[in-house]
Structure 1
Amino acid sequence: MATIHRPATDIGVGKAARTPADYVWAVARIAIGWVFLWAFLDKTFGWGFATPADKAWLAGGSPTTGFLKGTGEHALGGFFTSLAGQAWVDWLFMAGLAGVGLALVLGVGTRVAAVAGGAMLLLMWAAALPLETNPFVDDHIVYAIVLAGLALTGAGTTLGLGNLPVVQRNGWLK
């Protein structure tokens, strides 16, 4: 297999010339990051979009109960229903939403966020099996594929903080 050697300026190190694709990936990164971050904020404060104020995490509600309790009739429903409302699941889920959202919006830790976000999305996809409108693919799978693309293209370097020296020196922050 041939190895492709590209100058450092082509992969986001330093002041590289950006391509239109770089900006598309950056906007996709920020948009998906906002989806995760918004879910965290709405579930925390109950701003009335997906979460009413009386079911907000800060009001004593469980951010996982609504979704997971509704999986009872699905293939893996018994497993996911048993997780609903458990404090450790709520904390892990909310930390994931906040961490993935912030990392993607800022463009730091994009690879770690893509893996964590992809895992979260695949678990939500599995909780909904069998799917009602398509036998295999839903928005969770599409988002997970886009997250993989973000990680593989170094999307944090365009319109993000991925070019900071500390990020460039520490591979896990890319």
Structure 2
Amino acid sequence: MPNITKSTEKTFYALALVRISLGFIFLWAFLDKLFGLGFATCRDAQTDAINSMCSRAWAEGGSPTTGFLNNAVQGPFSDLYHNLAGVALVDWLFMGGLLVVGVGLLLGIWVRVAAVIGAIMLFLMWTALLWPENNPFMDDHLVYVFALAAVYFGDTNQKWGLRAWWSQTGLVKVLPLLK
């Protein structure tokens, strides 16, 4: 193992905070869309009241992609994204991605896979919102992509995660990609 200075060691703790924070963002999005917890899903636009488990919650038969893809999408790819709204396969891929990325980043397991999947999801969301309102091209989706790249490359010296234990499991020994 290379010589790690105290400054470098602190960097890995900062990366752990970034990893855990992004994991919470993804996992919360999954839970909100699944149960309609009232943040992006099941909040009344006029009264701001939360109606958990409303008809828009995935667990109640709603589509987790319909609201965003029908209402928020703009720019050169809007027709493509509008056609994907409410498609069952897209809903399952989206929710599966949110769950895999959220759990992986929070726990520090399958971090590299989670970082790649999360970066792809965020990049696609960026293309769905072209062009950003406050900048010619940069928005929070791209910043998160770059943060996930840092987490990806810093994973071998991970702090506050289960990587050491996870790396020794039989599943990872059979499928090292999940390390």
- With the shorter chain as reference, the TM-score category is 0.7 to 0.9
Match in the other structure for 1:105: 106
* Corresponding residue number in structure 2 for 1:14: none
Counterpart Cα distance in 1 of 2:20 and 2:157: 9
Paired position in structure 2 for 1:42: 32
The reply on whether 1:84 has 2:85 as its aligned counterpart is: yes
Change (3 A) 1:94 1:27: same
Cα gap change, 1:111/1:155 in structure 2, threshold over 3 Å: closer, same or farther? same
> How many aligned residue pairs are there?
161
Q: Which residue of 1 aligns with 2:141?
A: 140
Q: Paired residue for 2:10?
A: 20
In the aligned structure 1, how far is the partner of 2:88 from the partner of 2:31?
18
Once the 2 structures are TM-superposed, how far is the Cα of residue 71 of structure 1 from its aligned partner?
A: 4.6
Q: CA deviation at 1:173?
A: 2.7
Task: Tell me the amino acid that sits aligned with residue 40 of structure 1.
Answer: F
Decide which of 170, 173, 178 is 1:173's aligned counterpart: 178
Distance 2:20 2:148 in 1: 11
Opposite residue 166 of structure 1, the aligned amino acid is Q
Q: CA RMSD in A?
A: 2.0
The one-letter code of the counterpart of 2:177 is W
In 2, Cα distance between equivalents of 1:45 and 1:146 = 28
Contact 1:110 1:156 in 2 (8 A): no
SS of the aligned residue for 1:163 comes to helix
Task: Identify the residue that residue 47 of structure 2 maps to in structure 1.
Answer: none
Sort the Cα spacing of 1:128 and 1:76 in 2 relative to 1 into closer, same or farther, 3 A: same
**Alpha-carbon shift at residue 150 of structure 1 (Å):** 0.3
CA distance in 2 between partners of 1:49 and 1:71 (Å) = 16
Could you say which residue in structure 1 is the equivalent of 2:45? Answer: none
Provide structure 1 residue ranges, at least 5 long, that are not aligned to the other structure: 1-5, 11-17
In 2 relative to 1, CA 156–32 (structure 1 residues): closer, same or farther, beyond 3 Å?
farther
Contact 2:24 2:102 in 1 (8 A): yes
Whether the aligned pair in 1 keeps the contact of 2:108 and 2:161 (CA below 8 Å) is: yes
Closer/same/farther in 2, CA of residues 73 and 121 from structure 1, 3 Å limit: closer
Return 5+ residue gaps in structure 2 as ranges.
43-52
Distance 1:36 1:156 in 2: 22
Alignment match, 2:50: none
